[in-house]
């Protein structure tokens, strides 16, 4: 019995590894009307532009000049494991973050808002319903890293 369970788990693992868990890149990514896209109803997304407690997170409040902060953010994001910068402008960054085992892809977006002296954030899973807090932890870990560098409050 134990052998069958282990074999079934192994087969599932192999099949999941063979099939892409990346999902399709959402068409809603990017900045529209000076805001990042709203989170879906599912709990697998956080955004500083959302106001409900389930999805809301604070933006990164800058304590250095915006240009300096933006360079630090780009460097910090590029140093994160399993991340790939997909698109970048002078005030927007889209990053794909992959999970270590199955390669599930989440989309991390950062939007520099110079007049407000902040960086808006959004991190969302492409697939599934729950992310077990992965996206919130990603944003908070990045915030912590930038705090240690003296870039954000």
User: Which pLDDT tens digit goes with each residue over 124-146?
Assistant: 999 888 889 999 999 999 999 99
Q: Which comes out higher in pLDDT, residue 43 or 11?
A: 43
Question: What does R_g of the chain's alpha carbons equal in angstroms?
Answer: 17
pLDDT beyond 50 at 18: no
Q: Is the pLDDT of residue 148 over 80?
A: yes
Q: What is the number of helices (H) and of strands (E) in the chain?
A: 3, 8
Q: Where are the alpha helices (DSSP H) in 2-133?
A: 2-18, 66-79
pLDDT for the residue 23 = 75
In 3-state terms, what secondary structure has residue 109?
Answer: strand
**What digits encode the pLDDT tens for the residues 53-92?**
999 999 999 999 999 999 999 999 999 999 999 999 999 9
Q: For position 118, what pLDDT does the model report?
A: 98
What residue has token string 């989170």?
Answer: 39
Using one digit for the tens of pLDDT, what is the confidence trace for 86-126?
999 999 999 999 998 888 999 999 999 999 999 999 999 99
Is the torsion defined by CA of 74, 62, 49, 54 positive or negative? positive
- Find out whether 45 and 125 touch, Cβ atoms under 8 Å: yes
Q: Is 77 helix (H, G, I), strand (E, B) or coil?
A: helix
Among 126, 140, 145, residue whose Cα is nearest residue 20: 126
């Amino acid at each position: 019995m134990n052998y069958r369970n282990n074999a079934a788990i192994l087969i599932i693992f192999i099949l999941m590894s063979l099939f892409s868990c990346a999902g399709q890149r959402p068409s809603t990514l990017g900045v529209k009307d000076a805001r990042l896209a709203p989170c879906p109803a599912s709990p697998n997304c956080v955004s500083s532009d959302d106001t409900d407690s389930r999805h809301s997170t604070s933006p990164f409040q800058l304590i250095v000049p915006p240009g300096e902060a933006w360079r630090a953010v780009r460097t910090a994001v590029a140093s994160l494991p399993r991340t790939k910068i997909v698109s970048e402008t002078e005030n927007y960054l889209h990053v794909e973050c992959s999970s270590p085992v199955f390669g599930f892809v989440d989309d991390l977006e950062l939007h520099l808002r110079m007049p407000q002296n902040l960086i808006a954030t959004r991190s969302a899973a492409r697939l599934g319903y729950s992310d077990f807090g992965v996206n919130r932890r990603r944003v908070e870990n990045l915030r912590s890293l930038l705090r240690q560098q003296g870039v954000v409050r």
